[in-house]
Amino acid sequence: GAGVSQSPRYKVAKRGQDVALRCDPISGHVSLFWYQQALGQGPEFLTYFQNEAQLDKSGLPSDRFFAERPEGSVSTLKIQRTQQEDSAVYLCASSLDSGSTYEQYFGPGTRLTVT
Partner 1 sequence: AQSVSQHNHHVILSEAASLELGCNYSYGGTVNLFWYVQYPGQHLQLLLKYFSGDPLVKGIKGFEAEFIKSKFSFNLRKPSVQWSDTAEYFCAVKSIGAAGNKLTFGGGTRVLVKP
Residue 25 or residue 43: which is nearer to partner 1 going by CB? 43
* Strand 110-114 with 10-13, pairing: parallel
Least distance (Å) from partner 1 to the CB of residue 55?
5
Residues that bind partner 1 in the complex, under the rule CB under 8 A: 3-4, 31, 33, 35, 40-45, 48, 50, 55-56, 59, 91, 93, 95, 98-104, 106-109
Helix, strand, coil % (nearest 5) of the chain?
A: 5, 50, 50
CA separation for the pair 95, 103 (Å, rounded): 6
Residue 40 or residue 70: which is nearer to partner 1 going by CB? 40
Residue 18 or residue 56: which is nearer to partner 1 going by CB? 56
Least distance (Å) from partner 1 to the CB of residue 65?
16
Residue 75 or residue 95: which is nearer to partner 1 going by CB? 95
CA separation for the pair 14, 72 (Å, rounded): 31
One-letter amino acid of 30: V
Q: What end-to-end distance do the CA atoms of the chain give, in Å? A: 37
Least distance (Å) from partner 1 to the CB of residue 17?
26
